[in-house]
Copies of this chain bind each other. A is one copy, B any other.
Amino acid sequence: MLTTKISGLELKNPLMLAAGIMGTTGGSLKRMARCGAGAVITKSIGIEPKPGHPNPTMVKLRCGYLNAMGLPNPSYKLFQPEIDEAKHAGVPVIASIFGVDASEFSVIAGAINADAFELNVSCPHAEGYGAEIGTDPALVEGITKAVKNATDAPVWVKLTPNVADITETGLAAQKGGADAVVAINTLRGMAIDIESGHPILGNRFGGLSGHGIKPVAVKCVHDLYSALDIPVIGCGGISGWEDVVEFIMAGARAVQIGSAVGDNINIFSDISSCLEAFLSLKLWTLDDIYGMVHEI
């Protein structure tokens, strides 16, 4: 009842593990798949091993979380075995990748074997990578095109909300040949320790995730659904089944869950069952509620 198809991938449910959460090892990806995720995205993988920013890298705030991991990853040269191990759980494994330019992205996509690629052009706190690329439609289009040329697998582009109009970068991704867009990555944010005046994160600032950003993400998904022809995957602040319904009604074909995994490792199976129960009660299918807000 919850099965979904997105850019050719069959999902048993529309709930995926978001990039950067439990995504560094084959073991952890496998666990999340076994905990009920319909697909899993890896931690973003780059050209060289990267230790990321110094701690504190993540802090829980009253509303949501602030993080600046700094894209720690063992590099694409070492990562294939983790993906292969993750595949054993039987759900699609999507490789999230990042780089400084189109050629780095293509090198990685050409070398890695995964069910799809998610291009992280939206990390708000990794200098030279991420959002500095993702706010420029021309770069987004160019990188997407290059990756499409480098691989036969479906390519998703993950967008940053830190722009004046997310449909501009969404359209650029579509023009570059993307098979889907993912919205959103974290919002730029900062927290300061008032006892000392120190920024709390080792990197001074970081990205805001968790429940507080959900209305921003829902609006982004809504706008992208209106503007694009390719499917939109929603992400940002999901912590319960009601949130998933809201995203799908806004126009998300599927969703990703990140921060909320910390407090509830069983969130995928919990949401799946509640979502099924809700749909049954309402006599609705996933297709019925997909983009529903646009018909009203």
Contact = CB atoms under 8 A, between A and B. Distances in A.
Interface of A: 61-64, 66, 135, 162-165, 187-192, 194, 196-199, 204-205, 208, 211-216, 218-219, 222, 242, 245-246, 249-250, 278, 289, 292-293, 295-296
Contacts of A62: 63, 211
Nearest to A59: B215
Contacts of A191: 215, 218, 246
B249 A211 contact: no
Nearest to A188: B219
A192 B250 contact: yes
Nearest to A237: B63
Contacts of A189: 215-216, 218-219
Contact of A222 (B205, B246, B250): B205
A208 B215 contact: yes
A218 B201 CA distance: 13
The 7 closest A-B pairs by CB, nearest first: A212-B212, A189-B215, A63-B63, A197-B292, A63-B212, A190-B219, A135-B164
A63 B211 contact: yes
A55 to B, nearest CB: 17
